[in-house]
Chains A and B, each alone.
Chain A
């Protein structure tokens, strides 16, 4: 049975500390986040982001859905000593490895995630400004929303989808893989060159994605080496008997809003179809690891992929098949579990994107990142007669993702927007209404002094008594405005809230 496709996105940003000889990305990331938290905590600036830490008690990133974990290939330990804050919009803002990372709150549809992804960009912009105020003259922190440094180091933009625990994992592997390999035609953020060790650096002028070079396995637990197309981390952050959380690590971070909407919206619908057992079993790619790279390297979009049954199809052909199934599924079952009217918009934009990819990809400038970036690269190369290995092209590639408004090349394109900036500004502090993030965010706004810690599936309150009170939130679709809005409005104190919650 399909469950509501509660979903979210977590982005690791690139960070550069300019003006110092020996930059330390961990300190730079900490400074960035702390500067933001301090600025937002000042009276008069807003309700603020209380300094509530993350609670790790239920975190189990090593659990593998296949029921085992192998020595020597464990997911990395979570670094609990680093900056780790919960924001009033229900998001988590923290240092992960050597990057600032922001996880959006859980959302009920792809448009809400997009709004919070835009809010996250605004948070990064304000963080840079706050940090640069306290840095000495001549120093500056710069944040990039990309996934690779062009030298073989990659950092992720991960998606999360709530799924029915009863769905056989093998079904998810087969069908999600087909989608992940072929959705690159509209999710790719574009990259100059290749970082795959087996491809000579100068053999590739441009490819569709930042990430395809880094995938070496079909299924696995790792995220930092030998990356798998399907990640098996089994950490539902919800009732483990009912749910799993599909943790998707193959995507690029997108700047084009339509691309972000499509990445999340199409995947939510495909996963709902997998739960219903409605996917075409014959649609299976023969060698997914080779195929994910082949699709990324094929800017003509014409190269056929070999399917398991011997037929061939291009990535765009396969996307047409998935769209057709999704349209049928939506006609039959409605959109209640896949985002309501947002799902209808996703289907429409999905069809338009595939039509343009076939007819004339340049129609997607400002809609799909790789097309947009390629448009700029081709233009610059033509204007100055640049050879494919000219450093100016690699510089353009990086600077496309620069989040400083005055330096961002993406910002100059005038890309299509789906979220009004005032709504993104509101989402910097306000949680979505329709998931448990609403309860988390509202409590943080109202009683920051009484909250000891928070995480995805619980909050810990301090009532000044002997023991702390933990409130479990194991159901992601409860704790919404509809469910607890009035209660939160009426309660004056945490003590009153907890009393009324337990009756």
Chain B
């Protein structure tokens, strides 16, 4: 368990060369076809139950700070 193949070590300042490819990361998270099918059903339900006047609902959701 202690040996992690996937683990990336903390890097030194001078060997940080991996480019940050946000677009690739985002397209990789688009999910499988199966997930996509379930998402369509889910979005149908969301369209049905989402607060009908979204703007008014968001505006009127006001809370006092707590803690």
A→B interface (CB under 8 Å):
12, 14-16, 25, 96-99, 101, 148-151, 153-156, 158, 223-224, 249, 283, 299-304, 307, 310-313, 317-318, 320-321, 323-324, 327-328, 331, 347, 351, 354-355, 358, 360-362, 365, 375-376, 379-380, 383, 390-392, 394-396, 398-399, 406-407, 409, 412-413
Contact = CB atoms under 8 A, between A and B. Distances in A.
Interface of B: 1-2, 4, 6-13, 16, 18, 20-22, 25-26, 28-31, 35, 39, 42-43, 45-46, 49-51, 54-55, 57-58, 60-67
Contact of A391 (B8, B54, B65): B54
Given A153-B63, A320-B8, A331-B1, A365 B58 contact: no
Contact of A153 (B55, B58, B65): B65
Contacts of B26: 299-300
Given A154-B65, A155-B65, A300-B20, A407 B49 contact: yes
B32 to A, nearest CB: 8
A481 B57 CA distance: 48
A312 B11 contact: yes
A300 B25 contact: yes
A347 B13 CA distance: 29
11 contacts: A98-B63, A149-B62, A149-B63, A155-B67, A156-B66, A300-B25, A302-B25, A317-B8, A362-B35, A383-B43, A392-B54
Contact of A392 (B18, B50, B64): B50
A75 to B, nearest CB: 9
A154 B61 contact: no
Contacts of A406: 49
A25 B63 contact: yes
A222 B7 CA distance: 37
Closest 5 CB pairs of A and B: A155-B66, A98-B64, A395-B54, A223-B67, A391-B55
A354 B6 CA distance: 9
Contacts of B57: 391, 395, 398
Contacts of B39: 375, 379
Given A310-B13, A376-B42, A380-B46, A301 B54 contact: no
A495 to B, nearest CB: 41
Given A14-B63, A324-B4, 14 more contacts: A16-B61, A25-B63, A96-B67, A300-B26, A312-B11, A312-B13, A317-B9, A320-B4, A324-B2, A327-B2, A358-B6, A358-B8, A360-B28, A362-B35
A321 B4 CA distance: 10
Contact of A311 (B10, B21, B54, B58): B10
B62 to A, nearest CB: 6
Contact of A304 (B2, B11, B42): B11
Contacts of B21: 302
Given A360-B28, A395-B57, A313 B20 contact: no
Contacts of A156: 66-67
A360 B29 contact: yes
Given A362-B29, A392-B50, A413-B42, A153 B64 contact: yes
A312 B11 CA distance: 6
A158 B45 CA distance: 32
Nearest to B63: A149
A421 to B, nearest CB: 21
A90 B21 CA distance: 49
A412 B46 contact: yes
